[in-house]
């Protein structure tokens, strides 16, 4: 009888331990966040709950053994890295304890120019009629010439262009700041669905292309002493780890 009780206790402990291991592993891959603010409207709204794939932009450095890993064509990302149009979560460049959600607009080497309510990538004007709240009422960069996204950096904007603290304020973000890609919105139930990622399309209907290798434009790096501006922003609070402020 004692052996049976011991066996049952061990089974319970093994089940609990296995469940704990599965939970911790799952949390390393997918994490739950709550949206705060309106800077990604109309794609995501205040108080929406979303799932973020933290493994999507996983970076692994195996030194001389990198050739053993698949998908190493985009820097140090294991599975290709962020792409134009991805809706992503990243740590604030000024305060790593705060998390932002924005859309990737430019990849390393892309030429970015914003003026007259238009966003241009590598000379192509974006058709943003399907996912932004209003045209941007600002210029980027201020001198008016296209800015080139530096290596290992990405240019991100909120879909609510005029109420978003993003790369037009603090410049392109370094790839090490990425948390992951928003893959699913599960609350509210009447808006359940995808995370909002999409291909970026030019006004002529073509997918935005990579920059012409023959173009020679000075790379503009974000100023290290430039501070964030306190404007309405869309932040994310990790529900399982506590909500950020």
Residues identified as active-site: 39, 102
End-to-end CA distance of the chain: 55
Contact (CB, 8 A) for 48 and 185: yes
**Regarding beta strands 153-157 and 147-148, do their DSSP bridges make them parallel or antiparallel, or are they unpaired?**
unpaired
Q: What is the CA radius of gyration of the chain?
A: 21
Cβ burial 191-200 (10 Å sphere, 16+ → b, else e):
eeeebbbeeb
- Residue 79 Cα distances to 28, 83, 187, angstroms: 16, 11, 28
Structure-token pair, residue 10: 């061990």
Integer Cα distance of 208 and 123 in angstroms: 9
Structure-token pair, residue 130: 């399907």
Integer Cα distance of 86 and 183 in angstroms: 9
Cα-to-chain-centroid distance, residue 148:
19
């Amino acid at each position: 009888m004692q052996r049976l009780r011991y066996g049952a206790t061990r089974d319970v402990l093994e089940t609990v331990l296995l469940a704990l291991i599965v939970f911790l592993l799952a949390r390393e891959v997918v994490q739950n966040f709550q949206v705060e603010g309106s800077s990604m409207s109309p794609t995501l709204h205040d108080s929406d709950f979303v799932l973020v794939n933290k493994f999507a932009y996983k970076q692994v450095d195996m030194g001389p053994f990198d050739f053993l890993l698949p998908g190493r064509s985009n820097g140090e990302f294991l599975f290709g890295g962020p792409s134009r149009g991805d809706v992503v979560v990243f740590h604030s460049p000024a305060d790593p304890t705060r998390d932002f959600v924005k859309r990737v607009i430019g990849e390393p080497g892309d030429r970015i120019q914003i003026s007259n309510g238009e966003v241009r990538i590598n000379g192509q004007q974006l058709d943003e009629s399907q996912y932004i709240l209003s045209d941007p009422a600002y210029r980027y960069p201020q001198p008016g010439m296209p800015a080139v996204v530096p290596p290992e950096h990405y240019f991100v904007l909120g879909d609510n262009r005029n109420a978003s603290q993003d790369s037009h304020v603090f410049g392109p973000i370094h790839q090490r700041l990425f948390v992951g890609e928003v893959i699913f919105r599960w609350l509210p139930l009447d808006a359940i669905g995808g995370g909002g990622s999409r291909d970026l399309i030019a006004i002529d209907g073509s997918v935005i292309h990579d920059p012409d290798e023959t173009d020679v434009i000075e790379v503009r790096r974000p100023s290290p002493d430039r501070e964030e501006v306190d404007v309405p922003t869309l932040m994310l609070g990790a529900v399982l780890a506590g909500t950020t402020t």
